[in-house]
Amino acid sequence: MNIIDDLILHSPALIVAIPLLGAFLTPLISKINDKMRNIFVIFIVLLTSAIVLLLANDIYAVCGKIHTYVFGGSSPVTQGGFAIRILFEVDGLNIFMALIATILAIVGVIYSWAFMKENTGLDKYYTLYLLMIAGMFGMILTGDMFNFFVFLEITSIASCALIAFWTNKGKAVDAGFKYIVVSATGALFILFAIAILYGQYNALNMAVLASKIEFSFLDNIALVVLVSGLAMKAGIVPMHMWLPDAYGRAPASVTLILVGVTQASLYGALRMIFTVYGDSLSTTLNQIGDINIELNLILGIFIVALALLTIFIGVLMALKENNFKRMIAFAAVAEIGYMILAIGAALTTIFSAAETDIGTGAMALKGGIFHILNDALDVGLLFLVAGAVYYATKETSLNRLGGLARNMKYTTIFFLIGLLAVSGMPPMNGFASKLIIYESTYQVNPILSIIAILCSILLLAVFVKVFHSAFLGPKQPKFDDVKEVPKSMLLAMGIIACIIIFIGLFPDIVVNNIVQPAVNAITDNSNYISNVIGGI
């Protein structure tokens, strides 16, 4: 029993440390043989997941509990009275993101076993893969601004190298270069914002910053730079160009983790906006007559506008795309739009004085956060199916695919599940979260939910087109000897499909047990501040 307690106590550090250690042991293990290495990597990921689950169990046991983990000594102390050290903190939102990352990591490693089998240089592949997972967990768990930047860079370096893993294809290398340019610029923006905040408040810890923030002119600049830097990493519309290339050209197993990395950046934006700036967001910026123009309103409207653009452009580009994976990538852009739409709608209402508005805001946040989980699963499943089709046929263009349902029946079923889920059809999980988003945005402004529903229908149209052109249709002689993909890939897709159906059938279990603590963690930032500062 004692060992379990110790494990939980040190779990935030272990969740990052185990994949990191595993990453650098992988090249050594692969000297023995390939099978050993694959088993080792799966073992590392499962070990990490077990610790995440232990920690989750601990967090959900007590309502509003925050687990802090301190690196470094208690001196020297700065003028503010806080020691200079790095803090990891885990609350409802962090553990929610960590659970998503866990699912993606397990599925990705299982899928890689067969999918990447014929490639060379797999020791480097798995090293980078584990590094990416470690970086993703680090971004999610850290409570320190600069540490967040460091993990962001670890993730972008590892994922860029993995996007360009198939260096024999010019387009893959091009996609990798695009990705690294955008993410390096975005990360430097974030560092600039962190430096502005540090210069004013002499602190890097998120909770300390949140307690000190006064909302000067410089803070305005820092907020804008921070949000735009994170938006670049999350692929929100004016900065989305890298995303279809990177998602479309990377190996499918890598794309799965990239989806998780994008969500982690989105988590960063949520954390910065709601926790660090939470108290000062309702500051009045300008007064016109009797009406106060508050910052949260301006930020919210701006984010909603960006979200609508993101949804629109994502869907429209997906309609005209012919490459299987790029098309799913544009659909992923649209899906990100739904989450930001919910966040923006929440921002406009949640700081208001009226009780009903606060309820709407909390509901929008609930929908948005629930959709983070559902989007990761749905889009992830579709990418895995696209990867399976590529594995079986070596073909990516939808014009040349057809009649695959005859030979690949399980893959077809998984695609059908993903298709229904991503376009928000009732028995699947996408419906549950999109319904909450529609309901809450309708109360903010009916037009928002009309556009959201319309684009969801268009998304269905896109995927029905794909389903028809790739899986149905006449038998094609060149695909006669196409076989169903190996068992490990089917297992990976099956795991995600089962979770999708489970969430679709019992959404209230997930919402009440996992999503609601995350929403509480975001909205109650005084609890966060007092708990984390108490831990310093």
Partner 1 sequence: MIYNIPYIAVVALILIGLYAIIFKRNLIKIVIGITLIESGVNLFLITLAFKQDSIAPIYRGSGSRIMSLPVPHALTLTSIVIGVAVLALMLSLIIHIYKHYKTLDASKIGREKE
Contact flag: residue 21 with partner 1 (CB under 8 A): no
Least distance between partner 1 and beta carbon 154 (Å): 8
Using CA atoms, how far apart are residues 184 and 153, in angstroms rounded to an integer? 8
Distance of CA 236 to CAs 18, 313, 438, Å? 32, 10, 20
* Binding status of residue 27 toward partner 1 by CB under 8 A: no
Interface residue with partner 1, options 164, 231, 236, 503 (CB under 8 A): 164
Q: How far is the CB of 85 from partner 1 (least distance, A)?
A: 11
Q: Is 86 in the site for partner 1 (CB under 8 A)?
A: no
Q: CA-CA distance, 112 to 254, in Å (whole number)?
A: 9
Measured from the CB atom, is 204 or 347 closer to partner 1?
204
Residue 177 binds partner 1 (CB under 8 A): yes
Q: How far is CA 75 from CA 202, 205, 336, in A?
A: 15, 15, 43
The answer to whether the beta carbons of residues 160 and 31 sit under 8 Å apart is: no
Nearer to partner 1, 146 or 302 (CB): 146
Q: 38 or 323, CB closer to partner 1?
A: 323
73 binds partner 1 (CB under 8 A): no
How many residues of this chain interact with partner 1, rule: CB under 8 A? 35
d(CA 464, CA 445): 30
The region of 159-167, 213-221, 280-288, 361-369 touching partner 1 under the rule CB under 8 A is 159-167
Relative orientation angle of helices 92-115 and 34-61, to the nearest 10 degrees: 160
- Based on the shown chain and the rule CB under 8 A, indicate whether residue 218 belongs to the binding site for partner 1: no
Residue closer to partner 1 (CB basis): 187 or 493: 187
Instruction: Say whether residue 78 binds partner 1 (CB under 8 A).
Output: yes
Amino acid, res. 34 = D
Torsion of CA 520, 376, 412, 168, to 10 degrees: -170
166 interacts with partner 1 by CB under 8 A: no
Binding mask 323-362 for partner 1 (x = CB under 8 A): x---------------------------------------
Residue type, 388: A
Euclidean distance between CA atoms 158 and 163, whole angstroms: 9
Q: Name the segment binding partner 1 (CB under 8 A); options: 120-128, 187-195, 403-411, 424-432.
A: 187-195
Query: By CB under 8 A, which span of 8-16, 167-175, 406-414, 477-485 interacts with partner 1?
Result: 167-175
Among 29, 95, 175, 269, binds partner 1 (CB under 8 A): 175
Q: Does 176 bind partner 1 (CB under 8 A)?
A: yes
d(CA 281, CA 283): 5
Query: Out of 28, 63, 181, 221, which residue is the one contacting partner 1 (CB under 8 A)?
Result: 181
What's the closest the beta carbon of residue 69 comes to partner 1, in angstroms? 20
Listed in sequence order, the residues at least 6 apart from 418 whose beta carbon sits closer than 8 Å to its beta carbon are 378, 381, 382, 385, 497, 500
- Indicate which single residue of 20, 87, 134, 161 sits in contact with partner 1 (rule: CB under 8 A): 161
Q: Which of 173, 316, 319, 501 binds partner 1 (CB under 8 A)?
A: 173
CA distance 334 to 340: 10
Cis previous bond, 27, omega within 30: no
73 φ/ψ angles, rounded to the nearest 5 degrees? -80, 175
Widest CA span in the chain: 76
CA-CA distance, 108 to 102, in Å (whole number)?
Answer: 10
Establish if 167 lies at the interface with partner 1 (CB under 8 A): yes
Tokens of 7: 């494990």
Residue 192 parent element (H or E): helix 170-201
**CB nearer partner 1, residue 18 or residue 160:** 160
Residues 188-207, one symbol each (x = binds partner 1 by CB under 8 A, - = not), give: x--xx--x--xx--x-x---
- Exposed/middle/buried for 32, CB within 10 Å: 0-12, 13-18, 19+? exposed
Give the whole-angstrom CA distance, residue 201 versus residue 214.
9
Kindly state the helix (H) or strand (E) to which residue 463 belongs, with its residue range: helix 446-466
According to the binding rule CB under 8 A, does residue 284 interact with partner 1?
no
In the complex, least distance from residue 129 CB atom to partner 1, rounded to whole angstroms: 16
Determine if 59 is a binding residue for partner 1 (CB under 8 A): no
Residue 397 binds to partner 1 (criterion: CB under 8 A): yes
Residue with tokens 């928000």: 424
Contact positions vs partner 1 (CB under 8 A): 78, 84, 146, 149-150, 153, 156-157, 160-161, 164, 167, 170-171, 173-177, 180-181, 184-185, 188, 191-192, 195, 198-199, 202, 204, 245, 323, 396-397
